[in-house]
Amino acid sequence: MAIPPINPIGAGRVTQLLPAKRRKAGLVYIEGEKLVHEALSGDWECRLLLVEDDHLHTPGGRDCIAAAQARGVEVVCTDRRTLARLTSCETAPPVGVVLAPPDLSIENVTELPKRLLILDRLSDPGNAGTLARSAAAFGFVPVLTLNGVRPTNEKFLRSSAGLCFGPGRILTGGEPGRLAAFLHERNVATVLLDPYAPGFLEDFSHDSAAALALVLGNESTGVDRQLWRWATPLRIQMSPLVESLNVAMAGAIALHHFRHRGGGR
């Protein structure tokens, strides 16, 4: 399939897309063919597609260009050196898209999802992205508090495999205490993982048709039990040889468990 001529990106626009500039502007730059296609099929605003000159006429490059043009997204070409200035990866992929996120506040959602994953002050974007991916696999919608990884963090978005670009896939809930009260007022049953909790995950009784929120805390300090005083603390049964699990692993186990207790399909 022939593609129309693609104009090169100007130096001034490149300057505005450098990492510090785009963070200040609230923009996100996502790279790689798979993530670009996820972004172009999602509901985040796509501002610009950048394609390396040597990639323009490859099958993957043509597919990305066609998908962008079908959505009315401007396409520009550039060289590898320029893409290296924009990337946060070790090696710049040959295609990337500039995005502007929608309003992600949970307080603007008219109807809460039945299954929520809440990441309370998680600081590692790799862990947060892996958990967002697990949440999508097991019928949960993740909620990021603003005291941890932000939903516009590019490493987080890459680690989630682009699953956050779809409508309602990711929400932000502000301060943990405010979010806890918000869920309590709406009668959402809340469970938090704590390796020292007296009760086990398997023993928790819950109406599978009712809303449920699973809370995972900061990697080193865990969940603030005072802020989440309405939540039920639970732990995962495991060998006494191991004190605790990595938060992404523990979260995946709990998400899978609650998936079989009436989680979304």
CB 105 within 8 A of CB 174: yes
Say if residue 194 is exposed, middle or buried (CB neighbours under 10 Å; 0-12, 13-18, 19+). Answer: buried
Given the structure tokens 């949440």, which residue do they identify?
Answer: 135
Q: Which pLDDT belongs to residue 109?
A: 82
CB 169 within 8 A of CB 102: no
- Structure tokens given for 67: 């998908």
Q: What pTM was computed for the model? A: 0.89
**Cβ contacts of residue 239 below 8 Å, gap of 6+?**
none
Mapping DSSP to helix (H, G, I), strand (E, B) and coil, where does residue 77 land? strand
Distance separating alpha carbons of residues 132 and 179, to the nearest angstrom: 18
Number of other CB atoms surrounding residue 158 within 10 Å: 18
* Fold that domain 106-259 belongs to in CATH: Alpha/beta knot (3.40.1280)
Mapping DSSP to helix (H, G, I), strand (E, B) and coil, where does residue 6 land? coil
- Structure tokens given for 120: 């309370």
| 7-100: CATH number | 3.30.1330.30
> DSSP character for 101?
-
CB 151 within 8 A of CB 164: yes
Number of other CB atoms surrounding residue 7 within 10 Å: 10
- Structure tokens given for 173: 């809930």
Which sequence spans correspond to the domains of the chain?
A: 7-100, 106-259
- Structure tokens given for 16: 């505005």
142: Cα separation from own chain's centroid: 7
Provide the strand spans (E) within 34-187. Answer: 45-52, 74-78, 95-100, 115-119, 141-144, 171-172
From first to last of the 265 residues of the chain, give the pLDDT tens digit. Answer: 566 678 999 999 999 999 999 999 999 999 999 999 999 999 999 999 999 999 999 999 999 999 999 999 999 999 999 999 999 888 999 999 999 999 998 888 888 889 999 999 999 999 999 999 999 999 999 999 888 999 999 999 999 999 999 888 899 988 888 899 999 999 999 999 998 899 999 888 888 788 999 999 988 888 888 899 999 999 998 888 877 789 999 999 999 999 865 444 3
Q: Which pLDDT belongs to residue 262?
A: 45
